[in-house]
């Protein structure tokens, strides 16, 4: 869903090849993009499809993201990745440097754009608190779920099960996923419910900020339904035996949810995001707030989550392809934020494609 948007954006300027396991996904791509059907869970297949590439984009499901990235780095290819795998990408830093590879990871909307914004302000002020609230939602609320999945359903369910790591008083604190729900008002989206999820990722270790948290946004009521499913065991990963057959509950649930969480052709979605960065600048208290409200693009039939995630990725990919960024190793997005020129480029690139972050300063 997001990979298609990435491919089509880059194909306006570069020769693009897309590899996917499912022919149906490839059939959705526009003409002018080379297509290869192959099983990317096999490292040899990944090596084959990237052999002649100048740059690789990783847009696979999270459960296979780390191994795929490792294979790409071992092949000596620069890469920008949005797979959001649970493993620590920084563990591949030494390998990437030894292969003279630039590997930008977590390069989407969140994680991704929020990291870039924090990295920018962290280099220019003493940041004391950072909050990111983000959610991709169907424009029309439909019971009982009030939700559709703009990316892999298994990865969505992972957000609802993985314990959330936050920073409180300078220390990492672990809280249950879906915890501490509260309502937040947005001008265009109205009332949404925010709750803890494990989205800080590399920021836990690269940005020593006293207070940090990432919250997922949903329509009120969805969170409670997901908590009920979780308590019943439907999100467990430990296989259970049913009539002599072992089944992973979370994989079964994802299969059952997918038809109900799948966007229909032309069905509209929205992305709502708010990043709040507070601290002192020039010895004065300062708070920067970035708000994003993005909608489905009917002209190109492109979902908002695909746009906001995909265009952040392609902006950074363009920087690598054009040679304006080339630091080697595992590059988390907050590192990009240190350079004003890089931040301006990404924000302008997004704005040209209708994705605009509105900044207020207090």
Mean pLDDT value across residues 37-53: 96
Q: Quick check: 200 pLDDT over 90?
A: yes
Pick the CATH number of 2-108+305-356 from 3.90.170.10, 3.40.50.2000, 3.20.20.210, 3.40.50.720: 3.40.50.720
Mean pLDDT value across residues 15-43: 93
Q: Quick check: 258 pLDDT over 90?
A: no
Q: Which of 48, 47, 52, 93 is nearest to 72 (CA)?
A: 47
Per CATH, 2-108+305-356 and 113-302 having the same topology is answered no
pLDDT band at 31 (very low <50, low <70, confident <90, very high): confident
The answer to whether the beta carbons of residues 112 and 271 sit under 8 Å apart is: no
pLDDT band at 154 (very low <50, low <70, confident <90, very high): confident
pLDDT of residue 153: 72
Mean pLDDT value across residues 40-57: 97
Give the burial class of 132: count Cβ atoms within 10 A of its Cβ; 0-12 exposed, 13-18 middle, 19 or more buried: buried
The two beta strands, 56-58 and 79-81, are parallel
Distance, CA of 35 to CA of 41 (rounded, Å): 17
In the chain, what are the domain boundaries? 2-108+305-356, 113-302
Per residue in 241-250, pLDDT (tens digit) is 999 999 999 9
Round to the nearest angstrom and report the end-to-end CA distance of the chain. Answer: 37
**In degrees rounded to 5, what are phi and psi of residue 71?**
-65, -45
pLDDT of residue 318: 98
CATH of domain 113-302: 3.30.360.10
The full DSSP string for 241-254 is: EETTEEE-HHHHHH
Per residue in 293-328, pLDDT (tens digit) is 999 999 988 999 999 999 999 999 999 999 999 999
The two beta strands, 34-37 and 245-247, are unpaired
Q: Helix, strand, or coil here: 17?
A: strand
Q: Cis omega before residue 111 (within 30°)?
A: yes
Exposure pattern of 157-182 as b/e (b: 16+ CB <10 Å)?
bbbbbeebbbbeeeeeeebebbeeee
pLDDT of residue 278: 98
Residues sharing a CB contact under 8 Å with residue 217, sequence separation 6 or more, in sequence order: 133, 134, 135, 137, 184, 189, 192, 193, 194, 272
Average pLDDT, the chain: 95
Q: Quick check: 43 pLDDT over 90?
A: yes
Q: Helix, strand, or coil here: 207?
A: coil
For the record, the structure tokens of 74 come out as 């071992």
User: Residue 287: enclosing H or E segment and its boundaries?
Assistant: strand 284-295
Q: Which of 45, 99, 92, 49 is nearest to 70 (CA)?
A: 92
Q: Quick check: 151 pLDDT over 80?
A: no
């Amino acid at each position: 869903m997001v990979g298609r948007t990435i491919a089509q954006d880059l194909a306006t300027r570069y020769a693009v090849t897309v590899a996917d396991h499912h022919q149906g996904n490839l059939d959705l791509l526009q003409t002018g993009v080379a297509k290869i059907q192959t099983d990317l869970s096999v490292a040899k297949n990944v090596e084959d499809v990237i052999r002649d590439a100048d740059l690789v984009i990783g847009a696979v499901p999270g459960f296979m993201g780390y191994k795929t990235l490792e294979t790409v780095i071992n092949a000596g290819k620069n890469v920008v990745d949005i797979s959001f795998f649970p493993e620590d990408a920084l563990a591949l830093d030494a390998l990437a440097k030894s292969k003279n590879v630039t590997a930008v990871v977590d390069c989407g909307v969140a994680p991704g754009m929020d990291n870039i914004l924090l990295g920018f302000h962290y280099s220019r002020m003493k940041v004391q608190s950072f909050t990111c609230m983000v959610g991709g939602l169907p424009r029309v609320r439909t019971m009982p779920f009030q939700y559709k999945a703009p990316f892999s359903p298994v990865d969505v369910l992972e957000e609802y099960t993985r314990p959330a790591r936050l920073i409180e008083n300078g220390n990492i604190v672990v809280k249950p996923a879906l915890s501490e729900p509260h309502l937040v008002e947005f001008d265009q989206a109205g009332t949404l419910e925010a709750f803890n999820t494990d989205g800080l990722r590399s920021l836990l270790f690269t940005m020593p900020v006293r207070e940090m948290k990432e919250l997922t946004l949903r329509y009120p009521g969805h969170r409670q339904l997901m908590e009920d499913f979780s308590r019943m065991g439907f999100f467990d990963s430990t296989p259970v035996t049913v009539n002599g057959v072992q089944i992973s509950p979370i994989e079964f649930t994802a299969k059952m949810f997918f038809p109900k969480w799948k966007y229909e052709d032309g069905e509209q979605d929205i992305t709502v995001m708010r990043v709040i960065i507070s601290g002192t600048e020039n010895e004065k208290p300062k708070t920067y707030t970035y708000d994003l409200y993005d909608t489905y693009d009917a002209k190109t039939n492109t979902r908002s989550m695909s746009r906001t995630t995909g265009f952040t990725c392609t902006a950074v990919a363009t920087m690598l392809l054009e040679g304006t960024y080339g630091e080697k190793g595992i590059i988390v997005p907050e590192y990009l934020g240190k350079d004003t020129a890089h931040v301006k480029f990404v924000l302008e690139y997004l704005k040209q494609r209708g994705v605009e972050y509105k900044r207020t300063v207090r």
